[in-house]
Amino acid sequence: MLHIDNLHASIGGTPILRGLDLHVAPGEVHAIMGPNGSGKSTLASILSGRSGYEITGSVTYQGIDLLALEPEERAAAGVFLAFQYPVELPGVGNLYFLRTALNSIRTSRGLDEIDVRTFLEMADAAMQSVEMDRSLRSRSVNEGFSGGEKKRNEVLQMAILQPTLAILDETDSGLDIDALRIVAGGVNALRSPERSMLVITHYQRLLDHIVPDQVHVLAGGRIIRSGGKELAAELEANGYSETVHQSLVEQSSVAGVST
């Protein structure tokens, strides 16, 4: 599904990613954890097509060179980004925005547009899955939404657009216990053998609900350690500093032996 090999990225001459490698198979959920400034959000931005980065390395998605595609082409190919800080779009109706986005993707794939009635039925079912109030149907995108409502709206978009690669950038940020449960439940309902997910988070609590196939520690612009869900528990107990230090010591030891 997704193959990232030796990915380097910098902005304004400042290196951020320094040789990142990551392979995600179809249907897998991978969690990316790491301290602030390690490059987690940069990785999400690069995969979704944000400009401004100097990039080298290889990123292939379903056998396609992802870096060669424009953001809208990536969306049409099935790449979706749930923002850490969803933006407000005053004057743009929430469901109008979603129907336009969905039909744009369908048109790019040579499919017929979905009519209003069918779309509203689809939207109502998706809104129920994330326990969103029907009054939000007529509101502008994220305008006046609470933090929890904004994150539910991101999952609503994901449910309607049905991506094959979903990147969730700190979806748990700002959520209380109940909202976290609802948002995670909405994400879990979208897990399938055809859909892969990258879940970027600081905290184990999200991974208690969205259980990943693998957990990766990103530090210094590269993945320094990978493991199962127990790795997230270790990070929660010991913090990042100890894990990063231990990994660097182990890598230095292996380098010393190889030389």
In the chain, what are the domains? 2-89+162-258 (3.40.50.300)
**CA 176, 181, 183 angle in degrees (round to 5)?**
90
Tens of pLDDT, residue by residue over 179-193, are 888 888 888 988 999
With a pLDDT cut of 90, the percent of the chain lying above it is 46
Is pLDDT of 255 > 60? no
- Location of structure tokens 């990766």: 216
**Burial of 117 from C-beta contacts in 10 A (0-12 / 13-18 / 19+):** exposed
34 burial class (0-12, 13-18, 19+ CB within 10 angstroms)? buried
Mean pLDDT of all residues in 164-186: 87
Q: What is the pTM of this model?
A: 0.86
| pLDDT score for 133 | 79
More confident residue, 25 or 152: 25
Give percent of the chain with pLDDT exceeding 70: 94
Q: Higher confidence at residue 42 or residue 242? A: 42
Tokens 């997230």 correspond to what residue? 232
Q: How far is CA 198 from CA 23, 32, 168, 191, in A?
A: 11, 7, 6, 12
Instruction: Find the range with the poorest average confidence among 98-102, 146-150, 218-222.
Output: 146-150
Question: 86: pLDDT confidence band, cut at 50, 70 and 90?
Answer: confident
Which one has a higher pLDDT value, 61 or 241?
61
pLDDT, one tens digit per residue, over 13-44 is: 899 999 999 999 999 999 999 888 888 989 99
Q: For residue 154, give the nearest of 192, 127, 176, 177 by alpha carbon.
A: 127
| Backbone dihedral angles phi then psi of residue 171, each to the nearest 5 degrees | -60, -25
